[in-house]
């Protein structure tokens, strides 16, 4: 995953300090500089920023107070429960669980956010999927919704729900990026989804499913 230029990141830590003072490293391939946003909230993101990293104890509340101006957001927080992660994900932000990522992963999440990926750390992804599995174990409407998709489309949704984008999905499945995007367009129509985040929430049972 490469970007044509290095990125600028706004960092907001309303309840404490940032645990990675050496990030980004001088040789970081994606991120060039970090601008700290001073508390108290609400934080307003200045111009020239490509992404925001918000580290907080209560991510749902803090995300509501962030005035990002449409700049993509990655949240770093301690919560591992599916409810919190769904709310952050529903808000369009990526989520990294404290202690479940490295600075290399953080840089990848930042550059991914700038090209439309909603990144989840492994623990966040696992919690989201487990919560969805429990919620959908008796939900025949969800199973019927998933049944609308072809086997290939279900493969794509499984990968999309882990935070991969069209290019990475294509590499995994040995498909062209254009073919993946065409499949995604069909998937969105079948799931009645507005885009990738909405589709993933519906696929995982974390958004209301129409009774069909």
**Residues 144-186: tens digit of each pLDDT:** 888 899 999 999 998 888 777 788 899 999 999 899 999 999 9
pLDDT tens column, 34-90: 998 877 777 788 888 999 999 988 888 888 888 778 889 999 999 988 888 888 887
Please give the Cα distance from 179 to 153 (Å, whole number): 11
pLDDT greater at residue 208 or residue 166:
166
Helix 82-90 to helix 122-136 angle, to the nearest 10 degrees? 100
Q: Using CA of residue 122, residue 123, residue 129, residue 130, what is the dihedral sign?
A: positive
Residues 6+ apart with CB under 8 A from 87: 59, 60
Backbone angles phi, psi at 201, to 5 degrees: -60, -40
Report residue 2 as tokens. 């490469």
pLDDT at residue 125 in the model: 81
Query: According to the model, what pLDDT value does residue 116 have?
Result: 75
Is the pLDDT confidence value at 137 over 70? no
């Amino acid at each position: 995953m490469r970007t044509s230029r290095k990125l600028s990141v706004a960092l907001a830590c309303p309840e404490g300090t940032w645990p990675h003072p050496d990030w980004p490293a001088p040789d970081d391939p994606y991120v060039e500089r970090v601008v700290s946003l001073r508390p108290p909230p609400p934080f307003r993101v200045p111009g020239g920023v490509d992404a925001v990293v918000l580290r907080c104890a209560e991510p749902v509340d803090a995300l509501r107070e962030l005035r990002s101006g449409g700049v993509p957001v990655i949240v770093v927080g301690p919560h591992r429960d599916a409810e919190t992660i769904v709310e952050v994900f529903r808000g369009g932000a990526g989520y990294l669980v404290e202690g479940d990522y490295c600075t290399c992963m953080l840089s990848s999440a930042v550059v991914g956010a700038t090209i439309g990926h909603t990144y989840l750390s492994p623990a966040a992804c696992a919690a989201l999927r487990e919560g969805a599995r429990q919620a959908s174990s008796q939900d025949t409407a969800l199973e019927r919704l998933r049944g609308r998709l072809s086997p290939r489309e279900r493969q794509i949704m499984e990968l999309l729900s882990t935070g991969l984008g069209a290019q990475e999905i294509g590499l995994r499945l040995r498909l062209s990026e254009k073919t993946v995007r065409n499949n995604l367009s069909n998937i969105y129509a079948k799931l009645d989804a507005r885009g990738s985040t909405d589709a993933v929430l519906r696929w995982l049972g974390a958004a209301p499913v129409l009774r069909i």
